[in-house]
Copies of this chain bind each other. A is one copy, B any other.
Amino acid sequence: MPNPTAAILVIGDEILSGRTREANAHHLAGELTRVGIDLKEVRVVADDEAAIIAALNALRATHTHVFTSGGIGPTHDDITSDAVAAAFGVGIGVRADARELLESMFAAKGVAMNEAQLRMARIPDGATLIVNALSGAPGFSIENVHVMAGVPSIFRAMVETLLPRLERGTPRVSREVRFEVGEGRIAERLGALAAEFPDLSIGSYPFAENGIHGTNIVVRGTDPARVAEVVARLEAAR
């Protein structure tokens, strides 16, 4: 059976302006590889309702899972939850269990919750909460869309709650062989190997390090024996 597939949708003006370097997609990419869910696409869009809805609807129709990051805080620019509700055509409102989580967090800090903060308890109808260990504000899953925070530490805590709930695929084994020659010098042999092992992905990544122009070859696939065979062939050719 083929592995489940995934897309990540990152939402936030600060990424597109170059102010902030995105970190969550890279983290989740590694986690998905570990559990055998094949990440096929990442998109970054602005804090713009129409852009979020269009991307969500395109991605959720074509992938097993869509993971979003960003836009679920208490301020006016946090519009992800509303955009998700609109994309699914469902209602959205403050939910009792989400409100309780928030109230407990603020009570523990000894402060009262205000109206703006209560916005973080607004959850689209029919969603399941993604509770996390770091913040009282939950994420949520609705059908195959999983909505998480943009703050990297909270995003990671939500991924930790969420991933064990999802069906795993067969993790891809990945092995790397280092050549101390440029990729052009080994391109022909690599192409022949790739044609002989069409079930594997053989990637070629040039590097420059201490004056050496070399190439890392990454061999990936779900069958460890096939990956090992290609690695042995590459090592013999070095």
Contacts and interface: CB of A to CB of B under 8 A. Distances in A.
Interface in A24-66: 25-33, 39-47, 51
Copies of this chain assembled into the complex:
2
B41 A43 contact: yes
B44 A191 contact: no
A206 B29 contact: no
A184 B117 contact: yes
Interface stretch (A72-80, A82-90, A91-99, A122-130): A72-80
B18 A30 contact: yes
A184 B116 contact: yes
A194 interface: yes
Given A190-B75, A202-B76, A17 B33 contact: yes
Looking at chain A's contact residues, the main secondary structure is: mixed
Nearest to A172: B17
Contacts of A19: 174, 218
B76 A218 contact: no
Contact of A18 (B15, B29, B74): B29
A28 B26 CA distance: 18
B20 A77 contact: no
30 contacts: A16-B39, A17-B172, A17-B174, A17-B218, A18-B28, A18-B32, A18-B33, A18-B39, A19-B174, A19-B218, A21-B26, A41-B46, A43-B43, A43-B44, A47-B203, A73-B204, A74-B184, A75-B190, A75-B204, A76-B195, A77-B194, A113-B184, A114-B184, A114-B185, A114-B187, A115-B188, A116-B187, A117-B187, A120-B184, A153-B208
Interface of A: 10, 12-22, 25-33, 39-47, 51, 73-78, 113-117, 119-120, 151, 153, 172, 174, 183-185, 187-188, 190-191, 194-195, 201-206, 208, 218, 220
Given A16-B39, A76-B195, A120-B184, 15 more contacts: A13-B201, A13-B220, A14-B205, A17-B33, A40-B45, A43-B43, A43-B44, A73-B183, A73-B206, A75-B187, A76-B204, A77-B201, A77-B204, A114-B187, A117-B184
